[in-house]
Structure 1
Amino acid sequence: MPANLSSALETFKRQRDAAEAHYLKANRVSVFFREYTAAVETLLAALWAEYFQNSALCLMAVGGFGRGELYPCSDVDLAVVSPNPLSDGIQEQIARFVQTLWDCKLMPSVKSGGIGELCESVRDDITGDTAFLEARFLFGNRQTADELAEKMNAQRNVPAFVEAKLVEMEHRHAKSQGSGAVLEPNIKSCPGGLRDIHTLLWIAKAQGLATNLPDLLKQRILTRAEAGMLSHGYRRLAHIRIHLHLNANRAEDRLLFDLQPQVAESMGYEGLNLRRQSEELMRVFYRAIKTVKQLGGILTPMLQSRVSSTPLRVTLRIDDDYIQVNNQIAARHTDIFFRRPEHIFKIVEIMQQRNDITALEPQTLRAWWGATRKINRSFYQNSENRHRFAGFFRNGNGLTQTLRFLNLYGVLGRYLPAWEKIIGLLQHDLFHIYPVDDHILTVVRNVRRLALDMHSHELPYASALMQSFEKQDILYLAAFFHDIAKGRGGDHAIQGIADARQFAADHFLTGEESDLLAWLVENHLLMSAVAQKEDIQDPDVLDAFCKRVQTHERLSALYLLTISDIRGTNPKLWNAWRASLLESLFHAAGRYLTGNGGNPHTLFGRRRQEAADLLTRAAVPEKQQKKLWNALGSAYFARHQSREILWHAANLVHDFETPIVRSRILPKSNSFQVMVFMPNGPRLFARLCRIFSRHGFDILAARAFITEHDYILDTFIVQIPSQHAPEDYPDIQSALEAELNSFIHGHTVAEISSHSRRISRRSRYMPIAPSITITPEEDYPDWYSVEITAVNRPFLLADMAEVFFAHNVSLRYAKISTLDERAEDSFTVFSLDLKNPKIQSSLKQTLLEQLS
């Protein structure tokens, strides 16, 4: 590199470092952009003079660099423009120029060509056209730059450009779904992120209205208050993005788990633990993007309407106060919301009742939103407002959109102070992926979908149950209140009862409706916990559950709420296995409450008789059947459900001395059920678990059983890794059976270290403290329940089984509840030694060491 360029590079580095140091001290976004942009331009001036002095070319800043918004590790967007097509010699010069930029670590993104060539290149390229919309002259021939800008603007079809940018935004938002996008959001491209602000400005600039936020205020597109809010939201997001780049030392726009605490600390969230720092940062982030989304709801349709090619404006009278304009509702006099505050809910009520109205007209929305900030205790105490708010739930039509709209514009938090506390509240429990308010509204959405015939194909049985359920509005309210007490410390299910009952009393619910609502809020985790953690084949478990539930109405409501809650927590959690667990518990409890199936002896006898009938139809002699039942023992029928018993019996009745492996693919799922039958021996359960883990299977449930003649009959439900297609399942099944057959016949299977597999970023940086409880089983001496909560990882179950074996604890039943990256496992174990406190303490300590 020539000496003069080396000097220029050193100057740039000093200026860049000074800009960063000044920013970290003064914390002013605009000053950083100005100083860093100036540093880059100083270097570019030296490079331009070296390569293109006195040429007819010009250098233009485009994209983010063009608008002067240059982040520490962003690309430097440039255009080298010639009045004529580029010669080979000029192209070689440009290549050397670009290489030097790379050598200077500038991350250049360069377009080059003649004016006509560049205009043609962006004619059907919305991204390129947008970059040149923000072009500004740097060096060289200014006439060339002006000519390019003039031709670019002349060829731009503004209505088509606006429509394309809005479609682009919709697609961008659609991609920002799923757990990764919610937990580690991209600050630039997420809904309400920086790119949404840019889109508003691009649409305005293409129409010749504004180039920045102050311009939008001057043009009266924004009010002074709105301009202040949008500027504040923009600065919040820009601050976070600058700190992200500085901490990651790369162009990282995702708020990754490992970066969240670093960014929070560098932004001044001190004196907190890592989790609290992350929570505070993310709450600021969520509130900032919410502001952008709020204002986008007003500005986007306003800007779009100026160039819209929609059909002729059609206006219809609704009543004395409102008209319908195309698909929007407009107030005849926008001050109505200040003069008569009851209209804050009335206009929403009209919109909910009318399927042909999808939005508030922008000026009406602006006035309505301004009036909502006046919602206070007096507004809440107004009976008309209470009737309308409760009516949103009774009506049901458009309920999800109504509540999301009210939440977006802050109305839910103003009307219900308890709601304000959960807005943007994160849950670092390794399975919730949404802030609490978003999770609740997703659960309401799921309950509502069950009531709509058009969605019945998703969950046919639950949909039919919901559509025949008489108190649908109470279920919607239960979904709305089930987590409203999160973040207060203590049991949110218990604390939420008071909120639910107060709401019921204030909103004219009957005593019966209030009781059902409060019961559902208090018990919304009950069915999930029993189905996923306990042995629902155990009559004592079923009896305890039904004593809590008591009625068929509660059972149906709880079943529907539980399904909706799990599906609204994390898409990864809902699968055919969980569905079958809940459905089995629902039907078993239904029979119990009806009076069919409460007696354990009747239940066990029925299971045995069903299996005997099957074998009799298969011409198996009664004598042979008795030998099988004697080998299995009477406890077998208490620990297995009918479907398992029928499967086992069909495979074992002719020979219950020879080891066998059998597996079957469970219907409508990506799971196998596997049975292993072989002589008992040390560490067998743990070694089997390692085989499943080595194949990448998640173990969803496991039942370890020892027969009267000392054979193990272990049954597993294992989930196939998600990357495999259904057509691969038979090959996977064959490979697994082959290895298990090798194992049961004494061939050694190589074992893999439990610590050879990495855990996710989320688990590393937002872990949960492992917990263990050991409880004696009532009425069963030397039997214990062991409950374990920990970060999920490969080989976890195998490692715990090894610990049990080392402490002479016999594992008889395991219920594995994998909630994304969180494991909540329940074990039934037998031990003559655990009554000794020292041995029990030693078991706990060793388990904790494994879990940590």
Structure 2
Amino acid sequence: MSSNQAAYQTFSAQKQQAAAAFLERGRPAAFFRAYCEAAETLLRALWQPLFDGSGLSLLATGGFGRGELYPHSDLDLAIVAPSEISDGLQEKISAFVQTLWDMKLQPSVKSGSIAELCDSAAQDITGDTAFLEARFLCGNPEAAAKLLGDTAAQRDVAGFTEAKLLEMHQRHHKSQGSGAVLEPNIKSCPGGLRDIHTMLWLAKAQGLDTAPSALIAQGILTRSEAVMLIRSYKQLAALRIHLHLCAARAEDRLIFDLQGQVAESTGIGDDSLRRKSEKLMRVFYRTVKTVTRLNGILLPMLQGRIYSPLQHARFPIDDDYVQINNQIAVFDTEIFRRNPRHIFKIIQHLQARNDITALEPQTLRAWWAAARHIDSGFYAHEDNRRRFVGFFRNGQGLTHVLRFLNLYGILGSYLPAWEKIVGLLQHDLFHVYPVDDHILTVVHNMRRLALDSHSHELPFASALMQGFPQQSVLYLAAFFHDIAKGRGGDHAIEGIADARQFAADHFLSPEEADLLAWLVEDHLLMSAVAQKEDIQDPDVLRAFCARVKTYERLVALYLLTIADIRGTNPKLWNTWRASLLESLFHAAARYLSGSGNNARAVFSLRQQEAAELLTRTGAPEKQQKKLWQALGSAYFARHQTREVLWHTANLVHDFETPLVRSRILPESDTFQVMIFMPNGPRLFARLCRIFSRHGFDILAARAFITEHNYILDTFIVQIPAQHAPDDYPNIQSALEAELNSFIHGHTVLDQQSYGYRLSRRSRYLAIAPSVTITQEEDYPGWYTVDVIAVNRAYLLADLAEVFFAHDVSLRYAKIATLDERVEDSFIVYGPSLENPKHQQALKQALSEQLVV
């Protein structure tokens, strides 16, 4: 065995011992120390035979330089020469680096003369940062010392600081989006390890000792801040070590595949309320919030030590506060401790002034230190409660205020119910934000509806919001609608008590309190009815309006529903879902006004409007009557006016020949498709299979059988996201061509579902499927079948095949596709389901299709 092989075997054994000790004791510092020592011993053993007496120096840089080497991180090194490196030495360097690669150490090596490396550092902020925390390993110590001295001397501290802050902001911006929230990068996400490194880099660049005790002595950190920083660093570092060990590779993202493994590795298990992956992510989100809080204080302070911006404006606000540029400061930082009412008073000033955007760093530090002691006594003080509810009554800057209070933990201290949802993530395949962030996004969406500058986004909803007299109640409803999540019961019911207690304590009128409590209780009502039920059914509309009762509550619920859906997952809000809600709103508004609560009149009106249109287009009255007879009276009960007009205009002259029509819905990525053809076996399933084969998501489907036994099926399908609007006409033509071939018997489709691939999220965080079969009251043989499952290609077609196999006629399908989750509702006719065995067999067969 060669000396290199022996050295590597020793290194591997030491690395394994370090990993085993970490898994047993969970101490990241001990792991780093042991692993770095093993790596250094190996490097010296490899270095000496090649470079002894060469004048070269080997430095550890980057993470290795600061002694933070993760199991599968790059090995950051610099090889330094006093002068230009000769060809012979260059060959040895190449051999040295190749040996490291052969040992799978992932070396990242910079080499060159002192002058060359200094020039490289001057041109590259990343390289300069690497040398900032470099340390000598072996070789020529004088060359190493000169390089580090020269790079420090040439470093423009102000320029370095601004570059690192810009780099951080760019990194944060790149980390936005739901994917980053669901699968965050421990190293680079906002509040992650890189943010801690940035704080320490800025301090080190200023010549400060970055040991926590030294930072306390130098006034950079308070003792409590140092404790929080150390704890947060340990938590994130431990998670990253566990992640590398579980993945067996350099993986810094908490991806779905690994969240459960990492949770288990850290000792977190499932319980009756939460998955272990959800519990792990909650720990992570709370930790990065703490780092972000510290960043908000320390980075401006470190930046301010280098230079002070010109104070263009400094003037008193009152006896306690002064404005300095765009920041608010106190004359005496002890004011928050002496008089805690100022904890909310300064936020009141922040909200009221457009020209103030932040708290001055020392003021923020004093404010946060005092705010961490908020207790029931603080809540009991009337001034504090009036100021808190005043944030909602004012409305201006509300989102900024609430996010600021949440970031620094004040919402959780003031309202214990809020503390329970901070960092709480739901792995249900459609929520993508922790509950507290989701709620604040919903408040943000509601606030945008109130601003005229955003009216172009949703003009109708904005007009309703801007005319609503109790906007503060809508903000509070957005704030409280999910506050009871994670307690194990129905969060809508559990939240009523929280909302009513808040209303009583914060001086809401009885009318405001009633509206708030009702909105919290029924905040899911409109979404559920619009997406899961047939709003053309008079019984459905009547039941909905019985819950809503008044037009004012209808408006409030409509606005809250829009804000909620848009704040749940960016993929959920689309023009089709918007049109469903708006259709339900208008139908309910007519009903509540008394003009739409006569079902017969509504159906008659639809037929009358269709007849008027057909007459204007020259269709003979005799032909119209034949069409009405063929469609049957139930047709007008099951279709909206706009569908009736579209169908009948296409069918009036010939309702015996198969027909396909489609249209692109305005300003959307959806097609509406009608298929008219003689009835036959498995038609609905086979049509669904065609749509799935083209990559369409079926958002809604209505299966209707005419009096002369033709199907008139109507689908709303969403175009795959990769296509641009310019592609839509070609996609439409291709789809119509295949459907035309099918209705004329030229396309043969088997029952095979073809291949489909579930996302990693669906595979590793799959929800429990559910099938519920409910008999329709007063309608023998009719049933509602509700399905909740992971979304996949061909799912609707496969479910339709099951209905056919069990002699159940599918008459209506209400499809709700919520990102990677489906909540579908079917109205079926099947007299055989009165037999419990037949009903159980259908349920079992449907359930088998839902297993992923």
Tell me the TM-score normalised to structure 1 length: 0.98
**For residues 289-368 of structure 1, what are the structure 2 equivalents within 5 Å?**
289-308=288-307, 310-312=309-311, 314-368=313-367
Distance in 1 of aligned mates of 2:243 and 2:28: 14
Return the letter of the residue paired with 2:524. L
The correspondence of residues 626-775 of structure 1 with structure 2, limited to 5 A, is: 626-751=625-750, 753-754=752-753, 756-775=755-774
* Equivalent residues of 1:201, 1:210 under 8 A apart: no
Greater Cα shift, 744-753 or 20-29? 744-753
User: What residue number does 2:588 align with?
Assistant: 589
Question: Does the aligned pair in 2 maintain the 1:201–1:213 contact within 8 Å?
Answer: no
Specify the alignment match of 2:483 in structure 1.
484
Counterpart for residue 208 of structure 1:
207
Runs of at least 5 residues in structure 1 that lack an aligned partner in the other structure: none
Counterpart residue identity of residue 683, structure 1: R
> What one-letter code is carried by the residue in structure 2 that aligns with 1:628?
L
Counterparts in 2 of 1:744 and 1:755: CA distance versus 1, 3 Å:
closer
Paired residue total? 851
| Cα contact 2:273–2:486 (8 A) shared by 1 | no
- Give the C-alpha shift of residue 275 in structure 1: 5.4
Displacement of 1:92 in angstroms is 2.7
Cα distance in 2, alignment partners of residues 273 and 264 from structure 1: 16
1:185 aligns with 2:184: yes
Distance across 2 between alignment mates of 1:32 and 1:533? 53
2-structure distance, mates of 1:751, 1:205: 68
Question: Matches of 2:410 and 2:464 in 1, distance apart?
Answer: 32
Shift of 1:178: 1.8
* Superposed displacement of residue 464, structure 1: 1.4
Helix, strand or coil at the partner of 1:149 = helix
Offset of 1:270 from its aligned partner?
4.3
CA distance in 2, matches of 1:68, 1:328: 38
Deviations 1:539-559 (A, max 9, x none): 111111111111111011100
Q: Which residue type is aligned with residue 592 of structure 1?
A: Y
- State the distance in 2 between where 1:88 and 1:745 align: 77
In 2, the alpha carbon distance for the partners of 1:635 and 1:850 equals 32
Corresponding residue for 1:372?
Answer: 371
Residues 753 and 156 (structure 1), Cα distance of their counterparts in 2 relative to 1, 3 Å cut: farther
- CA distance in 2 between counterparts of 1:50 and 1:553 reads 84
Post-superposition offset of 1:801 = 0.4
Local SS of the residue matching 2:85: coil
- 1:330–1:360 Cα contact (<8 Å) kept: yes
For residue 5 of structure 1, what is the aligned residue in structure 2?
A: 4
DSSP-derived class of the 2:662 partner = strand
Indicate the larger mover: 108-117 or 490-499.
Answer: 108-117
Q: Give the Å deviation of 1:217.
A: 2.2
Report what 1:549 is aligned to: 548
- Give yes or no for the alignment of 1:448 onto 2:447: yes
Alpha-carbon contact 1:81-1:112 (below 8 Å) kept = yes
**2: distance between equivalents of 1:313 and 1:115?**
44
After superposition, what is the alpha-carbon deviation per residue over 1:258-296, rounded to whole angstroms, capped at 9, x for unaligned? 211111111122474895322221121111111111111
Paired residues of 1:694 and 1:752 also in contact (CA < 8 A): no
Residues 52-61 or 802-811, more deviating:
52-61
Give 3-state SS (helix, strand or coil) of 1:319's partner: coil
- Distance, in Å, in 1 between the alignment partners of 2:273 and 2:544 is 39
What is the 5 A alignment of 1:54-93?
54-93=53-92
Please give the residue correspondences for 1:399-438 in structure 2 after superposition, counting only pairs within 5 Å. Answer: 399-438=398-437
Q: Kindly provide the amino acid, as one letter, of the partner of residue 715 in structure 1.
A: T
Q: Could you tell me whether the CA contact under 8 Å between 1:244 and 1:255 is conserved in 2? A: yes
The Cα of 1:88 is off from its aligned counterpart by 3.5
Q: Counterpart amino acid of 2:232?
A: G
Distance 2:104 2:272 in 1: 36
Q: 2:714 aligns to what SS in structure 1?
A: strand
Tell me which residue corresponds to 2:821. Answer: 822
In structure 2, what is the Cα distance between the partners aligned to 1:658 and 1:56?
A: 92
- Equivalent position SS for 1:834: helix
How many angstroms apart in 2 are the aligned matches of 1:814 and 1:366? 57
For the residues of structure 1 that align with 2:659 and 2:82, how far apart are their CA atoms? 81
CA distance in 1, matches of 2:441, 2:712: 42
SS at match of 2:374: coil
| Alignment check: 8 A CA contact 1:504 1:514 kept | yes
Query: How much does 1:528 deviate?
Result: 0.2
Q: Secondary structure at the match of 1:808?
A: coil
Counterpart of 1:310 in 2: which secondary structure?
coil
Cα distance in 1, alignment partners of residues 660 and 80 from structure 2: 72
Which range moves more in the overlay, 84-93 or 404-413? 84-93
Cα deviations across residues 20-66 of structure 1 (Å, max 9, x unaligned)? 11222222111110110111111111221233221122211111111
| Distance in 1 between residues matched to 2:246 and 2:824, nearest whole Å | 37
Q: Which runs of 4+ in 1 moved over 4 A?
A: 270-275
Looking at structure 1, the residues matched to 231 and 752 of structure 2 have their Cα atoms a distance apart, in angstroms, of: 51
Aligned residue number for residue 30 of structure 2: 31
Residue type of the alignment partner of 2:413: R
Cα distance in structure 1, aligned partners of 2:309 and 2:753: 62
Give the structure 2 partner of residue 464 of structure 1: 463
Partner amino acid for 1:25? E
Q: Distance in 2 between matches of 1:707 and 1:210?
A: 83
- Bigger drift between 117-126 and 366-375 goes to 117-126
Letter in 2 for 1:351: L
> 1:392, 1:275 → 2: CA distance?
33
Q: For residue 653 of structure 1, report the CA deviation from its aligned partner.
A: 1.5
For residues 748 and 78 of structure 2, the distance between their equivalents in structure 1, rounded to whole angstroms, comes to 62
Which AA in structure 1 matches 2:502?
Answer: F
Conservation of the 8 A alpha-carbon contact between 1:183 and 1:434: yes
Give 1:119 deviation, angstroms. Answer: 2.4
1:109 matched to which residue of 2?
108
Q: Which moved more, 1:768-777 or 1:577-586?
A: 768-777
Q: Given the superposition, is the C-alpha separation of residues 647 and 204 from structure 1 closer, same or farther in structure 2, using an over 3 Å criterion?
A: same
CA contact (8 A) 1:690 1:751 kept: no
Whole-angstrom distance in 2 between the partners of 1:222 and 1:691: 64
1:798 aligns with 2:797: yes
Letter of the 2:18 counterpart: A
Corresponding residue of 2:14:
15
Partner Cα separation in structure 2 for residue 759 and residue 212 of structure 1: 48
Deviation at 1:752, TM superposition (A): 7.2
The one-letter code sitting in structure 2 at the alignment partner of 1:730 is P
Residue 605 of structure 2 is matched in structure 1 by 606
Aligned to 1:808: 807
CA apart distance, 1:358: 0.9
Deviation at 1:452, TM superposition (A): 1.0
Task: Indicate conservation of the 8 Å contact 1:771/1:788, yes or no.
Answer: yes
Judge which range, 155-164 or 264-273, deviates more: 264-273
Kindly provide the CA deviation profile for residues 318-345 of structure 1, in whole angstroms up to 9, marking residues without a partner as x. Answer: 1111111111111111111111111111
1:564 maps to 2:563: yes
Look up the equivalent residue of 1:634 and give its one-letter code.
S
- The 2-side partners of 1:115 and 1:499 are apart by 66
Residue ranges of structure 2 left out of the alignment (5+ in a row): none
Give the drift of 1:747: 2.0
What TM-score do you get using the length of structure 2 for normalisation? 0.98
CA offsets 1:513-563 (integer angstroms, 9 cap, x no match): 111101101110000000000111111111111111111110111000000
User: Measured at CA, do residues 730 and 50 of structure 1 come closer, stay the same or move farther in structure 2, by a change above 3 Å?
Assistant: farther
Query: Secondary structure of the residue that 1:425 maps to in structure 2?
Result: coil
Give, in angstroms, the shift of residue 361 of structure 1.
1.1
What is the alpha-carbon distance in structure 2 between the residues aligned to residue 230 and residue 672 of structure 1? 53
1:161 aligns with 2:160: yes
Partner of 2:225: 226
Aligned to 1:526: 525
Tell me the SS of whatever aligns to 1:74.
coil
Give, as a single letter, the amino acid of the residue that structure 1 aligns with 2:92: Q
CA distance in 2, matches of 1:845, 1:99: 60
Q: CA, structure 1 residues 100+422, in 2 after alignment: closer, same or farther (shift >3 Å)?
A: same
